[in-house]
């Protein structure tokens, strides 16, 4: 059974259209969603919100129902397979300073660009699905 993680899919509406916040991974620089391993004292959506604050410097209204799941392989020695539940995060606050600012880049992207930049087709389907729901 794969390890479980949760991710935030940060978005805001600009002229009625969703714009998505992507961040770079620390090791490869690929565009991804903020995500992390589940902590025992947090719900999966609280965990996703915590990761979004730490990795992307954003806060907002976090959905409690995942909009999708994707799998990724960690770049560890065991090549651990991770199943990630992705939760929508309607961003209201974006900080200029955050925990991992020196380790990652962040970028707001409209739907076509977000789908092109995301490193995984499953993640691209998730932003597509969220765009249809908001």
pLDDT tens digits, residue range 44-101?
Answer: 999 999 999 999 999 999 999 999 999 988 777 778 888 999 999 999 999 998 889 9
100 vs 14: CA distance, rounded Å: 26
pLDDT level of residue 111 (50, 70, 90 thresholds): very high
Average pLDDT over residues 96-115: 94
Question: Residue 4 pLDDT more than 80?
Answer: yes
Q: Which residues contact 114 (CB under 8 A, 6 or more apart)?
A: 20, 22, 124, 127
pLDDT digits (tens, 9 = 90+) for 6-31: 999 999 999 999 999 999 998 888 99
pLDDT of residue 2: 58
Question: Residue 1 pLDDT more than 60?
Answer: no
pTM score above 0.85: yes
What are the phi and psi torsion angles at 112 (to 5°)? Answer: -60, -40
pLDDT level of residue 5 (50, 70, 90 thresholds): very high
Specify whether domain 3-133 bears CATH 3.90.79.10: yes
HEC-encoded secondary structure of the chain: CCEEEEEEEEEEEECCEEEEEEEECCCCCCEECCEEECCCCCCHHHHHHHHHHHHHCEEEEECCCCCEEEEEECCCCCCCEEEEEEEEEEEEEECCCCCCCCCCCEEEEEHHHHHHHECCHHHHHHHHHHHHHC
pLDDT of residue 79: 80
């Amino acid at each position: 059974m794969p390890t479980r993680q949760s991710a935030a899919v940060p978005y805001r509406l600009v002229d009625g259209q969703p714009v998505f916040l992507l961040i770079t991974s620390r090791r490869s620089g690929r565009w991804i969603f903020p995500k992390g391993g589940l902590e025992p004292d947090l719900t999966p959506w609280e965990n996703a919100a915590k990761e979004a604050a730490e990795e992307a410097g954003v806060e907002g209204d976090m959905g409690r129902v995942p909009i999708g799941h994707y799998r990724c392989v960690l770049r560890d020695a065991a090549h651990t397979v991770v199943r990630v539940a992705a939760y929508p995060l309607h961003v209201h606050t974006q900080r200029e300073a955050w925990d991992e600012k020196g380790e990652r880049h962040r970028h707001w992207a409209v739907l076509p660009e977000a789908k092109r930049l995301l490193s995984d087709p499953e993640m691209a389907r998730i932003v597509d699905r969220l765009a249809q729901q908001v």
